[in-house]
Structure 1
Amino acid sequence: MTLTQLSYIVAVDKYRHFATAAEKSYVTQPTLSMQIHKLEDELGITIFDRSKSPVIPTEIGEKVIEQAKTILKESKQLSDIANFKENELKGTFKVGIIPTVAPYLVPLFLRSFLKKYPQVYLIFEELLTQEVIEQLGNDQLDAGIIATPTDQSFIYTEDLFVEPFLGYLSHNHPLVEKEKLSVDDLDRTNIWLLNEGHCFRDQAVKLCKETTKKNNSSPIEFKSGNLETLKRLVEQNFGMTLLPWTAVQEFDSNCANAIVKEFEDPVPSRKLRLIFGRKHLKQTIIAAFKESICSSIPKALKTTDKRVLIE
């Protein structure tokens, strides 16, 4: 019995498909299937009912898989212990980060963190909020960065900063003449929003009194999971979108491609949070990671005056 074999049965249980599990485990399907057969032979049981589609665990297989998850989690903790020293930060640190934060926040602190802690190997993965929480629960991540509160009992939360929303308008948009936007403006404008599942979309919808479909008079329907795509649409003179402050690094209210508008007080904002599941072992890396982020953000984000959280 090996940890690799245990990871394979956990993968098949997760994806309920041998080919997909093999792909996600970076092995061929015959290799994965052979190793699972070996484990079943060693234990003298059948872990998966292969007659079903999708494949499902047998009754005894479910118990084996749960124990496998525990063993894999404990093996990771052994690695953490081996790499942990009070006076030295060392080891792999895997972070899940939502797509509306990753491209704007990570470049702000990455270079300084790596320079200060060269023995920490950072792995970032862009995930939706729910995926970050699930992977923390499965011990697949060491930490996550999200923009909504979570009430999961196994998750610890540290606040990072509060980030204002901005309006990003095409030059021919009717609101460009306003000095600042108000929340009431948003119920009568054309607003491009992200796909469902993105917390920034949910926050934007809370600001709007009507849905995008009802408001949007454009003959175009565009579903996107990327804020940069929505920005490009605005820059081609199609409506407007909402952006987090960090998405407009050097914002100029009269930039060449589009117009950036601030909101009147109280400014709608979101709170960025660092979340993690284990409070021991990698606590020193977590603390250093948070300190690096907070010391690297622009001064404008270090105040919460006259901001209202949209969560």
Structure 2
Amino acid sequence: MTRPHLFVVCLQLFAGSLLAADPPTLHDEIDAVFRSQSALQEPPLCSDAEFLRRASLDLNGVPPTADEVRAFLADESPDKRAKIVDQLMASPRFERRLVEFLDVMLMERRANSNITQDEWVAWLLKRVQEKKGWNELARELLTANGSDGERAAARFYLDRGSDPHLLTRDVGRIFLGRDLQCAQCHDHPLISDYLMLDYQGMLAVFSAGYEVKVKQGDKEVSCYAEHAGSDLQFESVFFKGTPHLSSARLFGGAEFQEPFFLPGDEYSVAPADKTIAVPKHSRRQQFADAATSGQVHEFNENMANRLWAFMMGEGLVPAVDVHQSENPPSNL
């Protein structure tokens, strides 16, 4: 049962917001769940040579050298597998593997329109080297505006053209594991869990955002600013003439409670030409804080499932962005 163990150590290192148990304890728990499913037969342990090759490819992205294979096979210590995992995870190659995983997951091989790939990768690598938990990294991404010192973090917004509908869909898919595209104009026709109200509630968060050109040094760059939020009016294509209002909300959650400001008092920095507007109450900040609080199971389960898919080749929920009640997790 080697691959679950590799997944566990990877998850523990990077997704610190999700797990508190030490790797051996969690490994035992995973094995216990597997054994409890009587229809499944526990596979035998792989050979040392197979283990080393799998561990090297999964954690470092390259096969072991001939010298590394010979040294590992000659090692008779009972904990040599755990030691080689620690060694592989201490390698700069492991950091690059995580950066590659994050880059593909977050940007899905989009063109670099505003932030260069070198800037973006350097920003991700720094966070990985600092061993930031996924909750911290996600909060930085979701609240970034592209100002000095955090420019690369705004790539998630800027290279999607700051499009509120695209951001609503991609935040739902990538951070929560729910693709709400087909719930934009009506409740999802095939997935009863995905409601139009969920889509519109998240749209109320991102519809406040917009792109603005600001001066940074001797050049003008795009940044992501935010208007003070307001409720959105929407109606289903099936019930024309019956409008509804939606304030900001998380998927499946209640509307956010927001402070009231008198007209003209909504901003710390008011919208203006070449200025990043800053509302006194940021819906993006409220959304990011709630999603990454550790209390939102959609956020937690999404990253656990994506890391499982990264290490195992397929997620416990096979379509990583279609978590729903009729698509339960399975390790079959």
Confirm or deny a common fold (TM above 0.5): no
> Which structure has more RCO (C-alpha within 8 Å, separation ≥ 6)?
1
Higher strand share: 1
TM, length-normalised to structure 2: 0.27
Higher helix share: 2
